[in-house]
Amino acid sequence: MHASISPLSISNPPYSTLRPHSSSRLCGLRREAFGFRSPPQFRNRGVGAVSAKANSRRLSVFSASNSDAGNGSSAPASFDYDLVIIGAGVGGHGAGLHAVEKGLKTAIIEGDVMGGTCVNRGCVPSKALLAVSGRMRELQDEHHLKALGLQVAAAGYDRQAVADHANNLASKIRGNLTNSLKSLGVDILTGFGTIVGPQKVKYGKIGSSDNVVTAKDIIIATGSVPFVPRGIEVDGKTVITSDHALKLEFVPDWIAIVGSGYIGLEFSDVYTALGSEVTIIEAMDQLMPGFDPEIGKLAQRITPAKDGKPVPIELIDAKTKEPKDTLEVYTRRKKGKEVGGGEEKKGASAGV
């Protein structure tokens, strides 16, 4: 029996909207086109920055058109590219397509895999798993099936086949993103990108990045990583993040999900459909904090599963920090195998 704690919460909602000034033009990639002003400390130094959070990813545009960027290093007289994008997630990919559309010679640098978090460790595989959980719930709804005149034996699943389904979908989309950039003439540079001077980017393996390219403008779209609260050590077995959960290497009998944002609730749906008992731990005074309160109320009402195993919800008072309930996660070893994991009311805080 496996017991896992999964810190899956993320502070940003799944989609954010950048609302430019009413007189702005979103037709170019330079800072002037966005209709924003550079911070005062940069206005006389030739460096402007615009930062927009979208899909939990950082997307910043840097333009350094003067010879001095404030660090004593001169900018190159000519450039290898009009635009270099650091990060090939959906943000960087979209910026690359837009740049080519505007006639810019473009390169994109990626140190991991094309598609970033969304395609490989986020939106795509999670929705693939949600599709599986939805089908499982339909097959487990005997009352509805009987009303349709259908008789279905006990529903089951092949864990590895489910995981392969999610991985194959991500792989297909990753290939499509790569081919779309190549077909438009965008150079894909492999390695970790580092800005080393005005309009200069070094890329390659960490510790041996000897390749340097120059660009008139640079976009930083470096993405996000799972948030892990202090004091929690992730081992990938009993304590996992959303990245591990998507791999579906095992389905635990019981799992505690720290955080009730949309990511945590998605995984509670997936794992309860596959047979796990789930406990959601939320430090705030409602589910889905940061979202519209009505959405949180709806989540509170529908989260306890109507079929399968229930999803207990444990909260602490967000103002006083006093626990309304307590939870202790534990494992023990028996005959060389790790078993157990569950709730015990022994005074440990339920909020993380």
Domains and CATH numbers, the chain: 3-12+227-339 (3.50.50.60), 17-54+57-223 (3.50.50.60)
* pLDDT score, position 73: 58
DSSP state of 140: H
Residue 263 has which token pair? 């990511």
Which amino acid belongs to residue 90? V
Q: Nearest CA to 114 among 174, 185, 196, 193?
A: 174
Distance CA 160, CA 274 (A): 12
Q: What is the CA radius of gyration of the chain?
A: 24
Per residue in 177-202, pLDDT tens? Answer: 999 999 999 999 999 999 999 999 99
Give me the sign of the Cα torsion angle 344, 345, 347, 351.
positive
Question: What share of the chain has pLDDT > 90, as a percent?
Answer: 47
Q: Are 330 and 256 in contact (CB under 8 A)?
A: no
Distance CA 107, CA 218 (A): 10
* pLDDT score, position 298: 86
Which residue stretches of the chain have pLDDT < 70?
1-75, 209, 304-352
By three-state DSSP, how is residue 273 classified?
helix
